[in-house]
Structure 1
Amino acid sequence: MYEDVKQKMDKAVAAMESDFAGIRAGRANPAILDKVMVDYYGTATPVAQVGTISIPDPRMLMIQPWDASILHDVEKAILASDLGLTPNNDGKAIRLNFPAPTEERRKELVKSVSKRAEEAKVVIRGIRRDAIDAYKAQKKNGEITEDDLKDAENGIQKVTDQYIKDIDGLADGKSKEIMEI
């Protein structure tokens, strides 16, 4: 019944999960490189599309470009990004070491997770408001009855509550992951 509302809310949760994947929690995660673009023959190209990214151990990422001539360009792109990582170039591959974050840094990361979760909740509430406004407009135009409007409001609220609960669960999980490192 509320499929369009659920679709929009799914997109908001997916965007938040994508943000969470980019949070550097001390473990090597290839998703952290998703926003790093390399100048590949004049075209800005994601790192994942110019080589192989592997995880040789839990605190290291290794990037092996298919074209060895762009190794320096990949290194420059990583340094230019705000990842806070220093690439080690051995002439064949680039290694990124992920140091264990300090207690202070972990607390900052948890605050960042909370902030991004709250932003996602705001988006969810905005979707709820827009959907209810659409039903109110239908009521005003005589397309639905007062009872239909109340049912729709209650249904949308239940969907909203479930998504808010899901966001809280994801944020708690990410916070625990960060603090366990």
Structure 2
Amino acid sequence: MIADVLTDAETRMDKAVESAKEDFATVRSGRANPQLFQKVLVDYYGTPTPLAQLASLNVPEARSLIVTPYDKSALKAIEQAIRDIPNLGANPTNDGSIVRITMPELTADRRKEFVKIVRTKGEDAKVRLRGIRRKIKDELDALKNDVGEDELARAEKELDAITRTHVDAIDDALKRKETELLEV
């Protein structure tokens, strides 16, 4: 029983770490990256649809990205959805068949602002991990009548170790992203 609860904790924490890494990828650094547009929803015939389902994304140069829609009638909606992305600073241009996005050079102030955003996302991910830990601890406490106190104490120590490992993984990803953002 305890092993199942701890396995569930590890699985849920792994998902939280992956989610944090995906969140970090959505903050732009100096280069164009298709992951920046991973969570963009386009109003396609009244339905919010992920951009990746409507178009292919190519990076021909370090600071430009080309969006080629599968359906040319979605071109205006794609362009508008990209224009509505907060903190991107890019102005997409539409030539009738593709949308070209040129990423502007980041200023030092803008880089620092992005570092703050990434740190906030990292702290949010750690809060999610602590929430998972709290729920798992409650599940372990519910097993108190079925298992001995020694086993429960060992399980709590193991839960703390699992949590610490995942918090460290988020910190490592955060440091890598900060380094990437501050690199000129």
Q: Tell me whether the two structures share a fold, i.e. TM-score over 0.5.
A: yes
Using CA pairs under 8 Å that are at least 6 residues apart, name the structure with larger relative contact order, 1 or 2: 2
2:10 maps to 6
The reply on whether 1:170 has 2:173 as its aligned counterpart is yes
Q: Which residue of 1 aligns with 2:54?
A: 50
> Gaps (5+ residues) in structure 1?
none
CA distance in 1, matches of 2:70, 2:171: 41
8 Å Cα contact 2:17-2:170 kept in structure 1 = yes
Contact 1:132 1:152 survives alignment (8 Å): no
* 1:159 alignment partner AA: I
Residue 89 (structure 1) shift? 1.3
Does residue 163 of structure 2 align to residue 160 of structure 1?
yes
In the TM superposition, structure 1's runs of 4+ consecutive aligned residues that sit over 4 Å from their partners are: none
1:93–1:126 CA distance, 2 compared to 1 (3 A): same
8 Å Cα contact 1:16-1:117 kept in structure 2: yes
The aligned length equals 179
TM-score for the superposition, normalised by structure 1: 0.92
1:120-131 to 2 correspondence within 5 Å? 120-131=125-136
Distance (whole Å) between structure 2 residues aligned to residue 43 and residue 121 of structure 1: 33
Equivalent residue number for residue 95 of structure 1: 100
Task: Work out the CA distance in 2 between the residues paired with 1:126 and 1:37.
Answer: 28
Note if contact 1:59-1:98 (Cα within 8 Å) is conserved in structure 2. yes
Unmatched tracts of structure 2, length 5 or more: none
CA distance in 1, matches of 2:171, 2:85: 29
Residue 180 in structure 1 maps to residue 183 in structure 2: yes
2:151 counterpart residue number: 148
User: TM-score w.r.t. structure 2 length?
Assistant: 0.91
Counterpart CA distance in 2 for 1:36 and 1:150 is: 45
8 Å CA contact retained: 2:89, 2:104 = no
How far residue 70 of structure 1 moved from its aligned partner, in angstroms, is: 2.4
Q: Which moved more, 1:159-168 or 1:31-40?
A: 31-40
RMSD, matched Cα: 1.4
Q: Give the letter aligned to residue 20 of structure 1.
A: F
1:23 aligned residue: 27
> Does 1:105 find its partner at 2:80?
no
